[in-house]
Amino acid sequence: MDSSTSLTSASSVSAAAPTKPAPSGPKKRFVGSSRKVDAVAKKSAAAASSLAEPASIEESGASLVHLGESQSSGAAAKVKRGAIPDSILNDPLLNAAVSALPANYNFEIHKSIHQIREFNATRVALQLPEGLQMFACIISDILEQFTGVDTVIMGDVTYGACCVDDFTARALGCDFMIHYGHSCLIPVDVTTIRTLYVFVDIQFDIDHFTSILLANLTPGSHLALVATIQFVGSLHVARQELAQHFTITVPQSKPLSPGEILGCTSPKLAADIDAIVYLGDGKFHLESILIHNPGVPAYRYDPYSSILTSERYDHADMRSARADAMQLARRATKWGLILGTLGRQGSPDILNWIRTILSQRGTPFITVCMSEIFPARLAEFADVECWVQVACPRLSIDWGRFFKQPLLSPYEAAVVLGEAAWGDVYPMDYYAREDAGGPWGVNWHRKRPARAGAGKGRVGAAARARKVEEGGCCRASTVADTVAATAGGCCRTGGEAGKCG
C-alpha cells in the first residue's frame, strides 16, 4: 500500500551535542526501573554524543537526540504558569526520582503530582500506549511515593486517544486517570472521572530536521507540516526556521491541535501545497493525510533514526479493494453492526444512525459489541453477509481484505446505503468537527453546548480559571501552547487555556 525512498543530504549537517543532565539526587525505591528503561536512556545518551557532522541521513545513526533542559528543570520552566508550588518543583527527592525517566520525554510528573494532591485523589489509573508501557512502573512508583495514592496500570492495548478508558478506570474504583501519549480527543468534560492528558512531548535534534529539509527540498516551495502529538511542539519551533526558506502551512482539523494528525483524521490541504512533511515514526498517521490528499508528494522525517524518506500510497489498490467490498455488501441480505468497546472507540450515535436506516428499509441486522475485531470471531456468525464496524475506519481500509465477509467503515456503509457518494477522495474526517463530511463522522452528531464565557467565540477568564482549577488537559511545549490555545486546539493549564475538544 505504500513505499518509501531514503534521501541523502547534499551537504553535511552539523550540530552541537547537548550536555547530558546530571542526576539531581539519589534514587529511591523505584522498582519499575527495568533494563528496557535503562536501554532507552543509554540509547538517548549515545545518540547525543554521535551528532557531530553526519554526512548523510543514512549515516546519522542518532536514534533519539535530546535538546534543551532535563526533565525536572524543563518542567520547572514550563509549569510555573500553572501555579505548581515551588515545594513540588524544587523537591530534590522528587527531581531525583524524575531523573530515572528519559530526560527528553516530558511525562509532566510535577504537574501530575500537583493535580493529584489538589483533587485529593485516592486511586489513580495510568493508561499508556504500548510504546510507553516500559515507563509505567517508574511513574507508578513516583506517584505513589510522593502523593500516597494507589495506582492502577491499565494493561489493555491503547491504539490512540479514542481508546481512553475512563469507564474501566471508574469500575476499578479510580477517581483520577492520567492518559499518556495522546491529545484530549475525548474532552475532559465528557469523561466520567477526572482525567489528565499528558502528551509526552519528546525532544530531539530540531536543527538536524530543518537542515535536512533545506538540503533536499526546493527552496521557496509550499510545505504543509504535520506530526503526531508528541512532536507538535517541536514542529512549531522548526516552523520558525523553515519559514525563512519555504512557504509554510501548519494545517488543522479541529478539534485537533494545529499540525496534529490522527490515523483516521487529517486536514484537507489547499491546492497550492507542494509537499507534505510529516514528523514522526511509522506510517500509519502519515497514510491518513495521504489518503485525504491524493496527489500531494510526502516526506517523512523519523526523529528516532534521523532519516528523511519520500513516501507514497497506493490509492488505486486501496480504492479497488474497498469498491469490491462495497459491491458485495450491496447483495447482502443480513447485516452485522459492530460497536467498538475498546475505551471510547465506538460511537453510539453513528451506530444508531445506521440502525435507523436499516430498520427503515426492513433489512435484518444484529448488533455485536467487541473490544477488538478479528476475522475468526466474525466467521462464527455464519449467517451475516456484511459487517459494518463502528470502531476505527482504518480497520476496514488496512485489514478489510483479511475478513471473509465485507467489513465496511461507516463511510462505506453510507455509500452502500445511498447516503453518500463514492467520490474521488476517501475522506479522513472521522473526528473532524467543523469540516465533518457527514454522519459517518463522530462529531457530526454532537451538538455540544457552548462553554460559559464563550459568547464571542472566546473562552472567558472565569471559565479558563475554572478549567485550570478542575485540572484540564495539558501541554508540554510553550510554543505549541499559544498556538493551540489561540487556534482552538487542545488546552493547557496556563494563561491561554480554554479550548479542549
Domains of the chain, start order: 17-50+69-103+108-199 (3.40.50.11840), 221-313 (3.40.50.11850), 316-444 (3.40.50.11860)
The full 3-state SS of 243-292, as one line of letters, equals CCCCEEECCCCCCCCCCECCCCECCCCCCCCCEEEEECCCCHHHHHHHHH
Q: Which string of DSSP letters, residue by residue, matches 381-445?
A: -TT--EEEEES-HHHHHHHGGGSSS-EE-HHHHHHHTTSS---SS---BTT-STT--STTSGGGS
Please write the tens of the pLDDT for every residue from 29-73: 444 444 444 444 444 444 433 333 333 333 323 223 333 333 433
Q: List the single range of 48-62, 69-83, 219-233 with lowest mean pLDDT.
A: 48-62
CB 433 within 8 A of CB 414: no
d(CA 242, CA 224): 11
Mean pLDDT within 407-423 = 96
**What's the confidence (pLDDT) of residue 214?**
97
**What's the confidence (pLDDT) of residue 3?**
60
**What's the confidence (pLDDT) of residue 444?**
82
d(CA 228, CA 403): 29
**DSSP label of 494:** S
**What's the confidence (pLDDT) of residue 186?**
86
d(CA 357, CA 362): 9
Residue 53 burial (CB count, 10 A): 10
Please write the tens of the pLDDT for every residue from 191-201: 999 999 999 99
The cell for 236 is 512549531
The cell for 56 is 548523510
The cell for 356 is 435507523
CB 1 within 8 A of CB 314: yes
**What's the confidence (pLDDT) of residue 2?**
56
**What's the confidence (pLDDT) of residue 447?**
53
CA distances from 92 to 28, 41, 106, 135, 146 (A): 12, 21, 18, 21, 12
pTM, 2 dp: 0.77
- The alpha carbon of residue 293 and the mean position of all alpha carbons in its chain are separated, in whole angstroms, by 20
Q: How confident is the model at residue 445 (pLDDT cuts 50, 70, 90)?
A: confident
Residue 462 has pLDDT above 50, yes or no: no
